[in-house]
Amino acid sequence: MSLPHALLTSLLEKPCSGFDLARRFDRSIGFFWPASHQQIYKELGKLQIAGWVTASATPGARGRKKVYQVVPAGRAELQRWVGCAEDPAPLRDALMVRLRAEAVLGPGSGVATDLQHRLARHRQQLALYRDIERRDFSDRALSRTEQLQYLVLQSGLDLEARQAEFCEKALHWLATH
């Protein structure tokens, strides 16, 4: 996955200003491909140079507000990228190393602090995803686009639930052994 392709996807969903794109990104694609607003603006410039998007000044807008829109070359690049296969990213998680260190150091190493912190974060994210699910995907028939968006959300729901369950299991084990 790359930020340029995430931005092309978002702009194909809805052309908008960099500010609006960054705000929308935070509430959607940013859940699984985070980027700072500064990274987004920098990448928009690169997308323009590559000839994948155009930016036009918004009539009547104050300041330098531009609306970005994907051009055919950008759509073609996104189509090319979507068709590529890549290996899943390898797991790289400091918690797994901390648990191995706990095994070597013995009880009282403090790994429970990280587990409690992560458990709280996973529960918080899970609650947010459930709110999005209720708000955007319940009580109606979904279009193909919405079904695919919901599939992505379901992956996030599953991941957060599994991670919270893992933290609970590890904390329970540490407390009883």
Q: What is the largest CA-CA distance in the chain?
A: 67
Q: What is the pLDDT of residue 63?
A: 66
Residue showing tokens 């991941």? 159
pLDDT, tens digit, for every residue of 70-116? 999 999 999 999 999 999 889 899 999 999 999 999 888 889 999 99
The residues spanned by each domain of the chain are 3-82, 94-176
Residues 6+ apart with CB under 8 A from 99: 111, 170
pLDDT, position 106: 86
**Per-position b or e across 113-150, b if 16+ CB within 10 A of its CB:** ebbeebbeebbebbeebeebeeeeeeeeeeeeeeeebb
- Out of 3.30.70.100, 1.10.10.10, 3.40.190.10, 3.40.50.300, the CATH code matching 3-82 is 1.10.10.10
pLDDT along the chain (177 residues), means of 10: 91 94 92 93 96 87 83 97 92 93 88 96 98 94 95 97 98 94
